[in-house]
Amino acid sequence: MEKVIFRGKVGSHAFGTNTPESDVDIAEIYMCDNEDLLGLTYKEHDDIDKDNRRYELNKFIKLLMKGNPNMLEILYLPEDCVQYTTDKWWDIKQVREKFITKNLYDTFAGYARSQLNKATGLNKKINWELQKIDKKSVYDFCYVYINDNFRNRNLTKAMELPLWLSSNNYLQEQCGLVKLDHFRDTYLLYIDELEWVKKNDNPRYGDIATHNYQGIARVDADDVCVSSVPDYVNPKGVLYFNKDGYSMHCKDYHSYQTWLKNRNENRYNTNKNHGQKYDSKNIMHLTRLLMTARDIATSGIIKVRRSPEEIKHLLEIKSGKLDLKTMIDAANMEVAVLKILFDQSTLPDIVDETFCHELILKLRKQII
């Protein structure tokens, strides 16, 4: 059993930056009964979907203690966003100033930096979109160093593996690799010439066994293959597999695919139209968070609903009407100023854990 003690609208409707296209984000705080707490059915959070988030009392208080900006803003929501409350919620709200500490510099500035990383990360996503980059294979990250005569000290020449294969009329299946000791991701490269002869349907060699090399890599593999190569065979060159580069490419590709699947089309089109290669909504949130942090440092309160002038400014950032690079530079300067303001403030350093413990016990001991 559980009892909801608070429900309200959060996000853009609370900040005042909502537009007709904005989703309505709902937050709920609920309490499990003692049997759930002692048994196996306790849930510290129970999100319905990305727009409806639910937090159990213990989880909520713990997040407040850590200075989570989203949780703190719930305690300071404007009245037109509050949909449902109980007496227990008001017991928490009456002591909300206990959660305002100097530690909020780290959480608000840290959250702001995460928005900055998301905003600048859009540049990579847009580049993927513009360049129509497909997922590459292991072969695209392999390079062959050729030396026509290994006994002489001729200069070596590096070629991309696909180009080297095509220019020599080789298939990757007839290649064999042997790990080169003490060299990371580096291999001696051998060619099964008999396989090449049989590939060209020469009947004179039809009954001669090939070396059965494993090839460079199997389909959809994430690494190269190694083969057993006879001692009398001479290598054609040295192959280097840029494994780190391939791993980074795969990470970026999967990130891009996830972004494509989940992106908000209106938001994407806004960013595409203003053409500044930054996610303007993230920079709007970055700016808003720093506004809130300054309020905390100077007045000790959290101002969720911004003033009409501030809302206009934030929406101009979101629409891309302002130079986003300038906004980023200003935000970095503000972070440095906020550090000084928080250090000079009279706020307590951290939240009192004993107080939080006693608050939870008080609320749970009350008759539901």
Burial 301-322 (b: 16+ CB within 10 A, else e): ebbbbbeeebbebbbebbebeb
Asked whether residue 252 is assigned to any structural domain, the reply reads no
Note whether 106 and 90 are same-domain residues: no
- The reply to whether 41 falls in a domain is yes
Task: Examine the pLDDT at 89 and tell me if it is beyond 80.
Answer: yes
Query: Does residue 27 lie within any of the structural domains?
Result: yes
Where is the domain boundary, 216, 245, 274? 245
pLDDT confidence bin for 78, thresholds 50/70/90: very high
Query: Is 178 domain-assigned?
Result: yes
- Among 53-67, 242-256, 341-355, whose mean pLDDT is lowest? 242-256
Instruction: Please report the pLDDT score of residue 123 as a whole number.
Output: 55
24 with 14: CB under 8 angstroms?
no
Residues 329 and 233 in one domain: no
Is residue 81 located within the same domain as residue 157? no
- Determine the residue type at 215: G
In terms of pLDDT, which residue wins out, 140 or 252? Answer: 140
Query: Using 50, 70 and 90 to split pLDDT, how confident is the model at 224?
Result: very high
The whole-number pLDDT of residue 100 equals: 96
Q: Are residues 113 and 95 in the same domain?
A: no
pLDDT the model gives residue 366: 75
The pLDDT of residue 130 is above 90:
no
Check pLDDT > 90 for residue 44.
no
Looking at the structure, tell me whether residues 150 and 225 fall in a common domain. Answer: yes
One domain for residues 145 and 240 = yes
Of the three residues 211, 245, 279, the one that is the final residue of a domain is 245
Average pLDDT over residues 116-125: 62
CA 11/CA 157 separation, integer angstroms: 57
pLDDT digits (tens, 9 = 90+) for 300-335: 999 999 999 999 999 998 888 888 788 888 888 898
Tell me the mean pLDDT in the region 20-29.
91
CA distance 293 to 299: 10
Q: Does a structural domain hold residue 284? A: yes
H-run or E-run covering 173:
none
Cβ(69)–Cβ(289) below 8 Å: yes
Band of residue 134 on the pLDDT scale cut at 50, 70, 90 = confident
Mean pLDDT along residues 14-25: 90
pLDDT at 227 over 70: yes
Predicted confidence at residue 272, as pLDDT, reads 63
Mark whether 24 and 83 lie in a shared domain: yes
Q: Do the Cβ atoms of 10 and 73 come closer than 8 Å?
A: yes
71 and 122 fall within a common domain: no
Do both 4 and 54 map to the same domain? yes
The total number of structural domains that make up the chain: 3
Using pLDDT thresholds of 50, 70 and 90, give the confidence band for residue 153: low
Do residues 41 and 116 share a domain? Answer: no
**Mean pLDDT of the region 133-145:** 88
Confidence of residue 112 (pLDDT cuts 50, 70, 90): confident
Helix H or strand E segment including 315: helix 308-319
Q: How many CB atoms lie within 10 A of CB 213?
A: 23
What mean pLDDT is predicted for residues 67-79? Answer: 95
For residues 298 and 324, membership in a common domain is answered with: yes
User: At 65, which CATH number?
Assistant: 3.30.460
Domain-embedded: residue 226: yes
Domain stops at, among 217, 245, 273: 245
Residue 144 in domain: yes
pLDDT at 292 over 60: yes
Over 60: is that where the pLDDT of 354 sits? yes
Per-residue pLDDT band for 254 (boundaries 50, 70, 90) equals confident
| 111 vs 10: which has the higher pLDDT | 10
Q: Is the pTM of this model over 0.85?
A: no
Q: What is the pLDDT of residue 368?
A: 46
270: number of CA atoms within 13 Å, CB side? 19
The verdict on 182 and 231 lying in the same domain is yes
38 belongs to a structural domain: yes
Which residue range is the domain that position 121 belongs to?
102-133+264-347
Count of positions (residues) in the chain: 368
β-sheet bridge partners, residue 6: 29, 85
Q: Work out the mean pLDDT of the chain and round it to a whole number.
A: 84
Three-state SS for 197? helix
Mean pLDDT computed over 118-122: 62
Q: Is the pLDDT of residue 214 over 70?
A: yes
- Over residues 287-296, the mean pLDDT reads 93
Greater pLDDT, 129 or 340: 340
